[in-house]
Structure 1
Amino acid sequence: MISGFEKWIPLGAVLFDSLIGDPRSRLHPVVLIGNYISLLEKALRRTAHSPLCQQAAGAVLVFAVLGTTYAVVWLIVAGLQWLDPLAVFWGEALILSFAITPRSLASAGKEICQYLLDGNLEQARYKVGWIVGRDTQQLDEREVTRATVETVAENIVDGIISPLIYFAIGGAPLAFLYRAVNTLDSMVGYKNDKYLYFGRVAARVDDIFNYIPARLTGIMLVIAALLLGYNARGSVKMILRDAAKHPSPNSGIAEAGVAGALGVRLGGLNYYGGVASLRAYMGDEENTLSAVYIQKTVQIMYAVTAICVLLLIVSKW
């Protein structure tokens, strides 16, 4: 537990994020982590041919990236502590703001929503392709909406709540260690021919790190639904009924919770590189998906963020 103004750092991070967002720069910390992962991956994969060697090389990648990330951020924070308390506050708030993504999620969702409202389906398909891995060229309005709602809902956990919780536990170094975990999973944690073995450790570590935050997110999501006047009871019902259907042990909680809160059905048939993949349905189709549900999902995302920050401040961690 800490005392004093440091408990306000998460709020400062959210304010920084709302003001400057996620700058598109080669020097952005997450971009640097991604470049580091790519560099190490190339070196490690040169001699890793058998499944066992690939899995071992993937484990080395994970430990190297996490160790380096934690050490670098720890040194930065240690340097700030030589200055004064305000330097620590603003420095850690800025660092944490690079680990959370509420503004980026909201901006992407609102942009796609506006294209749909304007009847510009082609541009909506193009933009949703920036935030999802599935094929988007043939999606209709409902499917563009579904893809956007699912992505915003899923990223409430790994783009906001998990970094905040790990900051509360271990400060900026642990928050960015988590961001490195998530970046590793997004780059190598795939179940395909290339990464089935090499990315296995990264995927498992990401599952472990998100396990508790995802379940806390489920609770906060129900509270958010209640405060916003959405169907909190439906949110609870769908989390209990449908969350486990998701291929991820964690992502299904937020997606099912949002589906229940809004009375919509998520999941269905997706295509990846032209290959069909059926995602289990979550939620009941009480309402037909349309652009307005993107706006409502963004509202839920912001409400969950506010609840988490408030709880961290009140609890003093």
Structure 2
Amino acid sequence: MAVTCAVMLGFALDALLGDPRWFPHPVCAVGKLISCMEKLLRRLFPPRKGAMIFAGAVLWIVVCGVSFAVPFLVLRFLSGINLWLGFAANSILCWLIFARKSLSEAGQHVYRAVKESVEEGRKAVAWYVGRDTAALSEEGVIKAAVETIAENLTDGVVSPLIYMLIGGAPLGMLYKAVNTLDSMVGYHNEKYENLGKFSAKMDDIFNFIPARLSALCIIAGAGMLRLDNRSALRIYRRDRNLHKSPNAGQTESACAGALHIQLGGDASYFGKTVRKAAFGDPLRRVDRTDILATIDLMNAASVLALALCCAVRLTLQR
């Protein structure tokens, strides 16, 4: 019960306060650890394929191990002093691990910027996506924002929720390390193809079930918001496995179906065009209000996932 309450309180704090800019975020510490470890491992291992793949596995084990062990030991120490102190620390960590409000604020930032001009929209969306944005049209900016919100429902809300309900904030921090490793080294380019292979694969594994739950919550949320949940389900069933990633297409396809738009398609990364599958049918042109609709979908799906996962945990505890 204590873990469930800590997670629910963390979710509520995130909804009310978001990420406090004045407070050092634990994910920043994970990012610094990854950078330091990468430099060390590149010095220790020769730049051969096999050696780099092994170094990438070592990188993952060390970063994830530290990310779990530090909060686990700190919470155990604080709980030994006082159970309420440990509960409070667990709740605060859960709050910092959730990213629902920051994801919503990112979408609103892009919406306001693209409303002002395409150029401002390009600048805004560049903060949140990995693709090249300098040549994006207004439609491209909107699609990039919608895809990011839909995909990051899994990374920022549902996956952390599931892992924190299983193992509290320590397991939630381990997941954030998995996700941060993928975002920092899990690239298919010359520098990270081998070093990041293990991290990319583990991110796929950790997000496999949460991504599918996220998509189902989007479909259910579409019905709650009086969007087309039947179309969301149809497009999800048809297009969910078209993406090269086993997880990214889950939420994007459901979102595209709910909004009657087409997402995905080719995109430019580091000056090179990457062929990507399209999700949904282009029944209408995208509009900047689709960003707000996707934020609403993400929020509804987040609440549904919270209610469902907490109910499952409490039922299993009986």
Using structure 1 for the length normalisation, give the TM-score.
Answer: 0.95
Q: Does the 8 Å CA contact 1:166/1:175 hold for their aligned counterparts?
A: yes
**How far is 1:276 from its partner?**
1.3
Amino acid at match of 1:112: V
Q: Does the 8 Å CA contact 2:235/2:253 hold for their aligned counterparts?
A: yes
Residue 274 of structure 2 aligns to a residue whose secondary structure is: strand
Residue 113 (structure 1) aligns with = 111
- Which residue, 228, 233, 243 being the options, matches 2:230? 233
**Alpha-carbon deviations, 1:40-72, whole Å to 9, x = none?**
000001233110000000000000001111100
**How far is 1:151 from its partner?**
0.4
The percentage of counterpart residues that share the same residue type is 39
Amino acid at match of 2:154: V
Matched, 1:17 2:32: no
| RMSD (Å) for aligned C-alpha atoms | 1.5
Q: Does the 8 Å CA contact 2:79/2:87 hold for their aligned counterparts?
A: no
Determine the C-alpha separation between the residues in 2 that align with 1:112 and 1:267. 18
Q: Does the 8 Å CA contact 1:10/1:309 hold for their aligned counterparts?
A: no
- Which residue, 34, 39, 55 being the options, matches 1:37? 34
Determine the C-alpha separation between the residues in 2 that align with 1:72 and 1:237. 44
Determine the C-alpha separation between the residues in 1 that align with 2:263 and 2:285. 11
- Which residue, 150, 163, 167 being the options, matches 1:166? 163
Show the 5 A alignment for 1:154-303. 154-303=151-300
Determine the C-alpha separation between the residues in 2 that align with 1:57 and 1:25. 35
Residue 98 of structure 1 aligns to a residue whose secondary structure is: helix
CA spacing shift, 1:6–1:170, aligned 2, 3 Å: closer
Residue 59 (structure 1) aligns with = 57
Residue 75 (structure 2) aligns with = 77
Determine the C-alpha separation between the residues in 1 that align with 2:185 and 2:245. 15
Q: Does the 8 Å CA contact 1:8/1:313 hold for their aligned counterparts?
A: no
Determine the C-alpha separation between the residues in 2 that align with 1:217 and 1:207. 14
Q: Does the 8 Å CA contact 1:211/1:250 hold for their aligned counterparts?
A: yes
- Which residue, 88, 97, 100 being the options, matches 1:99? 97
**How far is 1:84 from its partner?**
3.6
Amino acid at match of 1:276: T
Residue 239 of structure 1 aligns to a residue whose secondary structure is: helix
Q: Does the 8 Å CA contact 1:48/1:57 hold for their aligned counterparts?
A: no
Gaps of 5+ in 2: none
**How far is 1:89 from its partner?**
3.0
Determine the C-alpha separation between the residues in 1 that align with 2:135 and 2:252. 23
Amino acid at match of 2:60: V
Q: Does the 8 Å CA contact 1:26/1:32 hold for their aligned counterparts?
A: no
**Alpha-carbon deviations, 1:138-176, whole Å to 9, x = none?**
212111000000000000001110000001111111111
**How far is 1:12 from its partner?**
1.1
Determine the C-alpha separation between the residues in 2 that align with 1:305 and 1:60. 33
**How far is 1:244 from its partner?**
0.8
Amino acid at match of 2:160: P
**How far is 1:79 from its partner?**
2.0
Q: Does the 8 Å CA contact 1:7/1:312 hold for their aligned counterparts?
A: no
Determine the C-alpha separation between the residues in 1 that align with 2:271 and 2:194. 23
Aligned pair count?
313
Using structure 2 for the length normalisation, give the TM-score.
Answer: 0.94
Q: Does the 8 Å CA contact 2:114/2:122 hold for their aligned counterparts?
A: no
Determine the C-alpha separation between the residues in 1 that align with 2:28 and 2:121. 25
Determine the C-alpha separation between the residues in 2 that align with 1:224 and 1:216. 12
Residue 254 of structure 2 aligns to a residue whose secondary structure is: helix
- Which residue, 5, 9, 26 being the options, matches 1:8? 5
